[in-house]
A and B are shown apart, each in its own frame.
Chain A
Amino acid sequence: DSGVTQTPKHLITATGQRVTLRCSPRSGDLSVYWYQQSLDQGLQFLIQYYNGEERAKGNILERFSAQQFPDLHSELNLSSLELGDSALYFCASSVARRDTQYFGPGTRLTVL
């Protein structure tokens, strides 16, 4: 157990819908990262937050957004869902001064 928690574990929804994925970092970690893992694209970095502020953006679609709250948990919002958004979504956290990232158990999103 890495100490990073994610909810829900599984999510099944329809095209065009909107969902919210939640992540709680390890105690003391200020940085949260979101990754998407699909069979064809592998593990892709989406976005990073540090202490409530956006710090880096990767291959995140405009339909996706995220935020980090004062209690440091983070939410990833996915809207206008398409079949191709079906994937495993992981969050990871780290202590700001270090690079070591610890991954949560992931949320498996299925878009039908």
Chain B
Amino acid sequence: GENVEQHPSTLSVQEGDSAVIKCTYSDSASNYFPWYKQELGKRPQLIIDIRSNVGEKKDQRIAVTLNKTAKHFSLHITETQPEDSAVYFCAASLPGAGSYQLTFGKGTKLSVIP
């Protein structure tokens, strides 16, 4: 099965600085990589996703890059704000006949210091 490693487990940045979270996956057949943001006690919320036929995707202050050769993908948040503080999860999905189960990383707790 798929295995996803996520680093770092905790990250503190000053407001306005950038934050980078990295993930690696084990199965080269994985083709879909979403990122979720989860605030304490709330549901994981999709913030951005990327498919294996794309190397980079950007949405305002958030960007994701994918390196298929190295089997890793990264989340970049620029101009961080206190409301960006949350736990961020990366995930990878293997294609299959009607099966799109996600394998999640262990999460990164991001703290943005005002």
Q: Chain A: residues with CB nearer than 8 A to chain B?
A: 2, 31, 33, 42-45, 48, 50, 55-56, 58, 90, 94, 96, 99-106
Contacts and interface: CB of A to CB of B under 8 A. Distances in A.
B102 A45 contact: yes
Given A42-B107, A100-B49, A101-B34, A56 B43 contact: no
Contacts, number: 60
A33 B45 CA distance: 15
- Which are the 4 A-B pairs with shortest beta-carbon distances? A56-B99, A43-B104, A99-B32, A103-B43
A90 B44 contact: yes
A103 B100 contact: no
B103 A48 contact: no
A71 to B, nearest CB: 20
B44 A103 contact: yes
A56 B95 CA distance: 12
Contacts of A56: 96, 99, 101
15 contacts: A33-B101, A42-B105, A43-B89, A45-B101, A45-B102, A45-B104, A56-B101, A99-B34, A101-B34, A101-B46, A101-B100, A103-B36, A103-B46, A105-B43, A106-B43
A96 B98 CA distance: 7
Contacts of B100: 31, 33, 48, 94, 99, 101
